[in-house]
Amino acid sequence: MERKKQNPTAEDETQIISRRIQRISLHITPIPRPLHDHDNNLGLLPCATREKLEVETEKLSVYMRGKYRDMQEKIYEYFNARPELQTPVEISKDEHRELCWRQMYGLIRETGIRPLKYVVEEPAKYFAITEAVGAVDISLGIKLGVQYSLWGGSVMNLGTKKHKDKYSEKIDSLEYPGCFAMTELHHGSNVQGIQTVATFDPITDEFTINTPNDGAIKWWIGNAAVHGKFASVFAKLMLPTHDAKGVSDMGVHAFIVPLRHFKTHQALPGIEIHDCGHKVGLNGVDNGALRFTSVRIPRDNLLNRFGDVTRDGKYTSSLPTINKRFAATLGELVGGRVGLGYSSVGVLKIASTIAIRYSLLRQQFGPPKQPEISILDYQSQQHKLMPMLATTYAFHFATVNLLKIYSQMKRTHDEQLVGEVHALSAGIKAYVTSYTAKSLSVCREACGGHGYAAVNRFGTLRNDHDIFQTFEGDNTVLLQQVAADLLKQYKEKFQGGTLSVTWNYLRESMNTYLSQPNPVTSRWEGVEHLRDPKFQLDAFRYRTSRLLQSAAVRLRKHSKTLGGFGAWNRCLNHLLTLAESHIESVILEKFIEAVENCPDASSRAALKLVCDLYALHRIWNDIGTYRNVDYVAPNKAKAIHKLTDHLSFQVRNIAKELVDAFDLPDHVTRAPIAMQSEAYAQYTQQVGF
């Protein structure tokens, strides 16, 4: 026996090799395991035998919509009762602009809603108003935002008591329609590079506003082409000096500049106003271009919260540098980003509601000699729409949380909160609007040929929403701000500094996340483990932490040869991925909290299911990252994929209840393809049948 072991035959060697290969193959391709011990053929069971959660739509809707539901209902009811104010499918640019003005004017004057008050005192209520208004017509939502959040917000946030006393009531009542003139033809994202100048004249106690070249023309200014009578004009404040330069640049400031005569509505002397013309979308908003030639305004028209000029031409400020004043100014305007992210989720709710209701109603093909089945019973349709629905819910709770932090910042003016809101709003606005833009095309495609009919809204929604990715900060630029802030927090972590609340996990768990993956947990594949919020959030944060550490190492390496700017540019795609990963971690964290805080058991169970689908779908979409570092073993990756499919079907079973919980009125989701069969009859009548 001993000799046989020491000198094995060829047959023995073949058996040993065969056993080893078999063992290795089991590691690589394990024996399939059921999702539940009692359900060995889960993947083969017919749809009818799958369990369905009982969801009380009203309770879920109350939890979703919160305390501003009545305000939104008031807006929906107003437009529902006035069909003449609902935007028709076919409308010219000029007609749309006038309709948009009548919509806003009617809403403000007839309902008594005063949005400007809420911009400062109760931002969450203001954004609930803009969501409802935007659901009626995105152009109307943007026009209202220009009037109250941008023009009104600049006066309220950058001005002082004298400006608020003089302008606020008339802005709120629409007696003073206005614009927000920041963007120039040659400078959009780089606000510090704008070239419009406001030079102080100590003799007349006035500022002279000038556009020095064509590149400095104010461009894409909402409300400018037709309706605006005033503008908050952002310009470099220049003070006369007695040195060789003759002037001193004090940085970008905002000035109130009258644009049109109140009686004749003609442009005032020195002001040229041009129409930017027909756009891809948002043609209810009258975007225009402004050129200033020696336009004189009183010194009091300087919005002087962060910097002022005395009668004798001396500059005063509590902030010592141009950069600090600029940061403070932009910090007060961050509400626009907060609102865009929130409004983008509203658009995603509308599109997903239309597409899912259509997919539930539309029947196509089926088993031989049996009735056709709903297209939402096809796995491919579920893969298109169910993760999107889960993501819509995730975005909802993330943006609600952002509104909460933003409101707290407005109340307290806490410096740490200001920095947190700045970075978080940049990331959420960029991530949410990019996702929504892609999803609108997916929804259109999911509805086939009917989705291409203008009456079914996808084209309008897609075209109107598309610019959300650009204004209030280009998404690529905003994600770089998030990455820069993460790197700053990373540095603070190793220097023992204080981290903001949202970034705490970098301190608490960085060492854990950056250690080698546990070979045991990387192979756990049980349903309970995969649906554990701790596993899901740890996976998201692990990816972010690895990306952050590797980005810091790469930047340090390339800085030695390329310099700071060159190194950043070399690592740019890495940094954008890092920023997106971090925002996904924040979104999941807030979704998990929302599930745990839901008071109703049936709603909580539904939200838990949706949250699990969101988390596992995101992990599966980036499974290569987790596999590359052995964070997830092959058998676990397969289990994640299989469970994601299963959860997607379970969500499909309650999809109607989930979209009904958005509680959108019929005239908002008025697409015939989203309604009952009688609406199809009306749809065919419209084209002459």
29 is in an annotated binding site: no
Helix (H) / strand (E) containing 490: helix 475-495
Secondary structure of 421-443 in HEC code, one letter for each residue: HHHHHHHHHHHHHHHHHHHHHHH
Distance CA 539, CA 285 (A): 43
Strands 197-201, 288-292: pairing kind: unpaired
Helices and strands counted in the chain (H then E) = 25, 11
Nearest residue to 591 (alpha-carbon basis) of 618, 615, 621: 615
Query: With the C-alpha atoms ordered 213, 214, 219, 225, is the resulting torsion angle positive or negative?
Result: positive
Distance CA 198, CA 216 (A): 13
- Calculate helix-pair angle for 335-361, 415-446, nearest 10 degrees: 30
Helix (H) / strand (E) containing 622: none
329 is in an annotated binding site: no
Nearest residue to 509 (alpha-carbon basis) of 486, 540, 542, 536: 542
3-state helix, strand and coil shares in percent for the chain, rounded to the nearest 5: 65, 10, 25
User: Side chain identity at 397, as an amino acid letter?
Assistant: F
Backbone angles phi, psi at 248, to 5 degrees: -125, 130
- Length of the chain, in residues: 689
Detail the DSSP E strand segments found in 354-508: none
Surface-to-core class of residue 506, CB atoms within 10 Å of its CB (0-12 exposed, 13-18 middle, 19+ buried): buried
Are the C-beta atoms of residues 207 and 199 closer than 8 Å to each other?
Answer: yes
User: Side chain identity at 596, as an amino acid letter?
Assistant: E
Surface-to-core class of residue 120, CB atoms within 10 Å of its CB (0-12 exposed, 13-18 middle, 19+ buried): middle
Residue 518 DSSP SS3: coil
Distance CA 330, CA 348 (A): 28
Backbone angles phi, psi at 304, to 5 degrees: -110, 30
Backbone angles phi, psi at 534, to 5 degrees: -65, -45
Which residues are known to be catalytic?
472
List C-alpha distances in Å: 476 to 78, 223, 326, 431, 543. 38, 26, 21, 10, 20
Are the C-beta atoms of residues 480 and 551 closer than 8 Å to each other?
Answer: no
Residue positions forming the annotated binding site: 183, 222
Residue positions forming the annotated binding site for FAD: 183, 222
